[in-house]
Structure 1
């Protein structure tokens, strides 16, 4: 899994913006980002169609030399579609909207009423049939992850995608250490604080964030992304609906914060010392 990718939440909600959104995704691929994250829930499937348009454009000359095998496409199934009667139908519908033959990673969007053992069994069938290459989960905290590990095949989970950014650090107390112990990378959605316990504006305007950005000749958004990417265990999937923002997000992967930078950010935005309820959108 690449360290940084592109989120797509809210894309496809306005027909007039779809061409620009697909262009931003294509620009992100041209700038080196190879992971695209989407979900069947987003815009009732229209987000997947925007992603499909971007993939078609990129793979047919928009990004010279790019092949489907170079990309890492992530999709998510709704919990009510994660049972034996529905998951294959949902997967095939997503593939059709995306215009691709397989998903690199298929996630359970959040925990629902379908037993985890049933969902895992269906995911494994999809892997055997070549429709998906890996499976994982999203918005699951430690108790649910431990339950997942106990079902047949549950240890095949590739990742847990959760809300995580400088202003929302609750997962650092229990979930992140648990994932590291199980050698499972964490995917951070909303790494630019589109949601969570601290506001996006509060982070972007914070004096410490802005001073570090100025020192590195970077933007506050790039500092926030570099902070999420400060180790080798976390993948960031920021959304960018413009070409400029997509290019800036891609460049953030090369930004290395110093120990002094990290200390200052820890002082400005301290991690909790006790377990917090899982932040999610």
Structure 2
């Protein structure tokens, strides 16, 4: 089958996941609704959100409107959300999924991800996510922002291996150790912040490759992700950019070009444990949900 937005990868539980999708971090409900609707209308099937983003309601409205206008079936979409850090723990995780499904207007998720490993809680949290998986409320469960030691600890106390590990991954932060571990354990790596912001997009080596192919730096990076087998969810609030991000199937990178981008790596993370205090259960700080003026009053329920 030709490469396209319909192309999928098989997760370790047999579920098929689209390889390129839309992310909606730092997007209010109204913008998220329009972005999701535009993305689905232009052929995207993978949509990624999170309770922490504060826009599950808008994402749900975008899905609803896109289904009504395009006639696409819900089962053909792949919807991901993430467990909020403040909801971690066994009982609270089982309760939190209800709010996420209500805000999205869905009866199940295709992928439910633990947003960060909250130390002292993530083992009990995972037990609850396994229960949700076995009950069929989620088709697959995954993790995000886990380093290798925490992944090893999770696997030592789990009965279900995570299907996906969503990491900050881009040309300047390639997380070689994490990806090697994911590959060893059959866990699909998924990239958040795949374009690496201005630093990666402005890289001379990447722009040289882009000029050669008549493509943007973003399109070259997304093609590089594709060739490396990384599931990718670039964010955009603009319909034109959403379309452009999907136009990566009409050119090929050479091995030398792929290696040139591989060599851009600086192991430079934008976010990691040292940036936060809440990853320790005993810390005096907590993570917060993004609040938007267009959030419904009962968004937490």
TM-score by length of 1: 0.84
Aligned to 1:128: 134
Kindly indicate whether the alpha-carbon contact (under 8 Å) linking 1:80 and 1:113 is maintained by their aligned counterparts in 2.
Answer: no
How far has the Cα of 1:23 moved from its partner?
2.4
Q: Post-superposition shift, 1:138?
A: 0.5
Measure the CA separation in 1 of the matches of 2:249 and 2:18.
10
Distance 1:80 1:259, change over 3 A: same
- Give the Cα–Cα distance (whole angstroms) in 2 for the partners of residues 123 and 148 of structure 1: 12
**Structure 1: distance between partners of 2:119 and 2:260:** 43
Q: 1:253 to 1:51 in 2, by over 3 A?
A: farther
Kindly indicate whether the alpha-carbon contact (under 8 Å) linking 2:170 and 2:200 is maintained by their aligned counterparts in 1: no
Equivalent position to 2:222, from 220, 225, 230 = 225
State how 1:51-66 maps to structure 2 within 5 Å.
Answer: 51-61=59-69, 63=70, 65-66=71-72
CA distance in 2, matches of 1:152, 1:207: 44
SS at match of 2:99: helix
1:76 equivalent in structure 2:
82
Assess, with a 3 A threshold, how the Cα gap between structure 1 residues 5 and 277 changes in structure 2: closer, same or farther.
Answer: closer
User: Aligned with 2:86: secondary structure?
Assistant: helix
How many residues matched? 257
Contact preservation (8 Å) 1:79, 1:112 = yes
2:223 corresponds to 1:214: no
Q: Counterpart of 2:258 in 1: which secondary structure?
A: helix
Alpha-carbon offset, residue 114 of structure 1: 4.4
How far apart are residue 271 of structure 1 and its match? 6.0
**Structural mapping, 1:149-188, within 5 Å:** 149-153=155-159, 155-169=160-174, 171-172=175-176, 174-188=177-191
More moved, 26-35 vs 177-186: 26-35
Matching residue within 32, 50, 58 for 2:43? 32
Q: What's the offset of the Cα at 1:258?
A: 1.3
> Which is richer in helix?
1
- Report the CA distance between 1:264 and its aligned residue: 2.9
Corresponding residue for residue 196 of structure 1? none
C-alpha deviation, 1:2, in angstroms: 1.1
Pairwise CA distance, 1:140: 0.3
- 1:203 deviates by 2.3
Question: Using the alignment, how far apart are the partners of 1:60 and 1:248 within structure 2?
Answer: 24
Q: Distance in 1 between matches of 2:76 and 2:25?
A: 22
- In the other structure, the counterpart of 2:8 is none
Say if 1:83 and 1:119, in contact at 8 Å, map to a contact too.
yes
Match of 1:50?
A: 58
Report how far residue 130 of structure 1 moved: 2.2
- Structure 2 gaps of 5+ residues are 1-16, 276-301
The whole-number CA distance in structure 2 between the counterparts of 1:185 and 1:256 is 23
Corresponding residue SS for 1:85 = helix
TM-score, normalising length from structure 2? 0.79
Task: State the distance in 2 between where 1:124 and 1:261 align.
Answer: 41
Kindly indicate whether the alpha-carbon contact (under 8 Å) linking 2:21 and 2:234 is maintained by their aligned counterparts in 1: yes
1:105 aligns with 2:105: no
